[in-house]
Structure 1
Amino acid sequence: MTAIGRIGSEFGAAWSSFLRRRTAVFFTFFFPVLLIVIFGALVRTDPGGSGLFTEPPEYYVPGYVATVVLFTPLSRLGSTVARHREGNRFEKLATTPLSTAEWLAARTAVNTVIIGIASLLVLVLVAVLTGAALPLSPLLIPYIVFGVVLFCGVGAVLGAVTESQDGAVTASNTIGLPLLFLSDTFVPPEMLPEWFGPLQNLSPLTYFARGVRALTPGQSGDPVGPLVILAVLAVLSFAVGAYAVPQTD
């Protein structure tokens, strides 16, 4: 069997496993919906005012999409790797032709499909609840794909270095929450201390948010530069994640 065939077989198994876990399916799509309802519909934007959510609705579109692109792969890959370690599944994997890179590629592909569906749902809800114009450029697709690949790699590393599945989920939330709100997503840079600007550029989610915002009608920016940076970071993250996935337990 070729590498593509092995990845395809693992993809099918992982996809079926996801669909069987109804609670996981529900919360995968429920969390971003809840976020949009709270911040998009209940906490209305007030352009020209003061405080948070004073930008036009279009400004926050990247933040809503970033929620699923960030949290879903971090928590899913982190908990999956940790669960496989606890069940000694990687020891069984080592006896098959499937390499750790192929295993991670299959899991990343599953998450790409899941997050693609979730992102579409998010965009529809944002348009309905806030009236924001949506980024309909074809470049949105590679932004989502590279973002998923990047954070799947990070999630794999978290699952490999934490001691348990609960530890992996805790670590993903500890990393994800600061990144979500401090990466030029929901909080404009001018509202943060001046010294924090260079640190914000160290977050990979910043390039996702700025690039998607540049694709959004009524917003400005360079849509290509951040995509190139995100692609490079995605390749590096995937390589590190594949290396971190244990071949034996």
Structure 2
Amino acid sequence: MTGQAKQNNSNHKEEQLLRAIASGNRPKPPNALSSTMAFAQRALLRIKHVPEQMFDVTVFPIIFLLMFTYLFGGAIAGSTGEYLQFLLPGILVMTVAQITMYTGIDLNNDIRKGIFDRFRTLPIWLPSALVGALLVDVIRYSLASAIMIALGLALGFRPEGGVMGVLGAVLLILVFSFSLSWIWTALGLVVRSEKSLMMVSFMVLFPLTFVSNVFVDPATLPSWLRGFVEINPISILATAVRGLMHGNATWGEIAWVFVVSAILVILFAPLTMYLYRNKE
């Protein structure tokens, strides 16, 4: 391109800019879908530029499955292979449930850095910043599930429910995890520091995941403890996931997972949005 052509092109762009400024016509605000996708893309870019934050869904699931299978398999079931058939669905539920806390941690970091205040001043659908991040978290949960199942198959896990049973189980986990994430988004808006949020999250998740049917059959537990285990949301999910993978799930077990998920969303999604709008 010659110097004159470059100059003409520059002048044309300046004229377009001046016309846009002088016209007084403001661009239309983005709709809910486009703003949500923009925030989802932001979360994906953060993963791209800080890939080590994916250790919780790539390395930890492998460590958990290997450790619990070979440490407890012989002691509990007498065979690591037999125990793996029982353990993998439960450990999959436990792993994905525990990484839901990072939703609140990311939000808490945005608040501390001041990015949160900037988002609230934008002419966008207000929940899009939260919903976009939650959608990307579903990708994280899917990746963790895929890694766990692939490793389980390599170790000898054989789901009698077949491919459809496994896919149904993963879908059920994603629905529950998305619902559970709303708890941590609400806490992320209230708790002042990332360390405090992690401490609260562990205080909630550890009793729920370890005092459940993830590792042992509730029939082997004392009666006073068995009652809590049976109503524990993690146990309800693990029972349905285990049933789907092994082809013996009932509609009642699956329905209870959707009921618990709906309750979590109904309770914590409005609370999160109230806190989001009124955060000082």
TM category, shorter: 0.7 to 0.9
Evaluate the alpha carbon distance shift between residue 242 and residue 182 of structure 1 in structure 2; reply closer, same or farther with a 3 A threshold: farther
Evaluate the alpha carbon distance shift between residue 60 and residue 153 of structure 1 in structure 2; reply closer, same or farther with a 3 A threshold: same
Indicate which of 62, 87, 91 corresponds to 1:60: 87
Indicate which of 250, 256, 262 corresponds to 1:226: 256
> Is 1:97 paired with 2:123?
yes
Aligned to 1:120: 146
For 1:40 and 1:61, how far apart are their aligned partners in 2?
9
Aligned to 1:199: 228
8 Å CA contact 2:35, 2:125 repeated in 1: no
Q: What is the SS of the residue equivalent to 2:127?
A: helix
The structure, 1 or 2, with the larger RCO (C-alpha pairs under 8 Å, 6+ apart) is 1
What amino acid does structure 1 have at the position aligned with 2:144?
Answer: A
Cα distance, 1:96 vs. partner?
Answer: 1.0
For 1:209 and 1:244, how far apart are their aligned partners in 2?
31
8 Å CA contact 1:184, 1:206 repeated in 2: yes
**Aligned pair count?**
246
Q: CA RMSD in A?
A: 2.6
Evaluate the alpha carbon distance shift between residue 83 and residue 134 of structure 1 in structure 2; reply closer, same or farther with a 3 A threshold: farther
8 Å CA contact 1:81, 1:245 repeated in 2: no
String of CA shifts for 1:11-69, please: whole Å, max 9, x gaps: 0001111222122122331111100111124543467559xx89642221222211332
Q: What is the SS of the residue equivalent to 2:73?
A: coil
> Is 1:186 paired with 2:215?
yes
For 2:221 and 2:236, how far apart are their aligned partners in 1?
17
> Is 1:143 paired with 2:169?
no
Evaluate the alpha carbon distance shift between residue 59 and residue 241 of structure 1 in structure 2; reply closer, same or farther with a 3 A threshold: farther
For 1:202 and 1:43, how far apart are their aligned partners in 2?
25
Higher helix share: 2
For 1:179 and 1:61, how far apart are their aligned partners in 2?
17
Matched ranges for 1:5-44 at <5 A: 5-44=34-73
Aligned to 2:265: 235
Cα distance, 1:130 vs. partner?
Answer: 4.1
Extract unaligned runs of 5+ from structure 1.
none
Evaluate the alpha carbon distance shift between residue 45 and residue 154 of structure 1 in structure 2; reply closer, same or farther with a 3 A threshold: farther
8 Å CA contact 1:71, 1:176 repeated in 2: yes
8 Å CA contact 2:138, 2:174 repeated in 1: yes
For 1:71 and 1:93, how far apart are their aligned partners in 2?
27
8 Å CA contact 2:236, 2:257 repeated in 1: yes
Tell me the percent identity.
19
TM-score (norm. length: structure 2):
0.77
For 1:148 and 1:127, how far apart are their aligned partners in 2?
23
8 Å CA contact 1:32, 1:122 repeated in 2: yes
* Bigger Cα Rg: 2
TM superposition outliers: structure 1 runs of 4+ over 6 Å = none
